[in-house]
Structure 1
Amino acid sequence: MLLSLLVSVAVSTVSARNYLAQQLHVKNVDNAASLALSLTQLPKDEATVELALAAQFDTGHYRLIRITNPRGEVMQERTNFVDPEGVPGWFVHLMAFDIEPGVAQITDGWSQFGALTVESQTSYAYESLWDGTRQLALIFAGGAILIGLLGTLLLRRTVRPLDAVVHQAEAIGNRRFITVAEPATLEFRRVVVAMNALSDRVRAMLEQEARRLERFQRDAHIDKVTGLLCRDPFLQTLDTTLQGDDENAAGSLALIRINGLADLNVAYGRKAIDGLLAEMGAALNAIVGQQSGWGASRLNGSDFAVLAPRSMEPHRVATDVQQALREVLERHSMDTGITLPCAATVFTHGATVSGLLTRLDGALQAADRQGDSAINVARAGDADTTPIHEQLERWRSILADSFAERAFSLATFPVVDLQDRLIHLEAPVRLRWEGEMLAAGHFLPWIHRLEMSSELDRRVVDLALSLIGEQGRPVGINLSVDALIDPDFPSWLGHRCAAAPDAARQLWLELPEAMAFRHLDAFAHLSREAKAFGCRMGIEHFGHQVSEIGRLHDIGLDYLKADGSFVRSVEKNPANQTLLRTLCTIGHSIGVIVIAEGVRTEEERQALEALGIDGVTGPGVVDYR
Structure 2
Amino acid sequence: MLFPIHSIELALNDARKHRQDQTLDETPGQTATVKRLLSHVEPIAWNSRCVDVLDHFIRHEDLPAVAIVDAEQMPVGIMDRGRIIEIFLRPFARDLLYKKRIAEIMDANPIVVDINAGIDDVARIIIDAGMRHMVNGFIILRDGAYAGMATGHALLEEITQRKQRDLYLLAHYDQLTGLPNRLLFKDRLETACRGALRGGRMLGLIFVDLDRFKYINDSLGHSVGDRLLQTVAERLTQCVRHSDTVSRLGGDEFVIILPNLDGETAATTVADHIVAALDQPMPVYDHALQVTASMGIVLYPLHDSSAEGLIRKADAAMYQAKQLGRNRYALYSEHFDDGLRERMLLEAELRGALGNGEFSLHYQPQIQLSDQRVVGVEALLRWQHATLGAISPAEFIPIAEETGQIHDIGDWVLRQACRQHLSWIAAGLPALRMSVNISAKQFEQPGFAGRVAQLIAETGMIPEHLELELTEGAVMTHADRAAQTLGELRSLGVKLAIDDFGTGYSSLSYLRTFPINKIKIDQSFIRDIENTPANEAIVKAIIALGNSLGLETIAEGVENLAELECVKSHQCHEVQGYHFARPLAPGDFVTWHREFLGTAAA
TM-score by length of 1: 0.47
Pair member with larger Rg? 1
Structure richer in helix, relative to its length: 1
For normalisation by structure 2, the TM-score amounts to 0.48
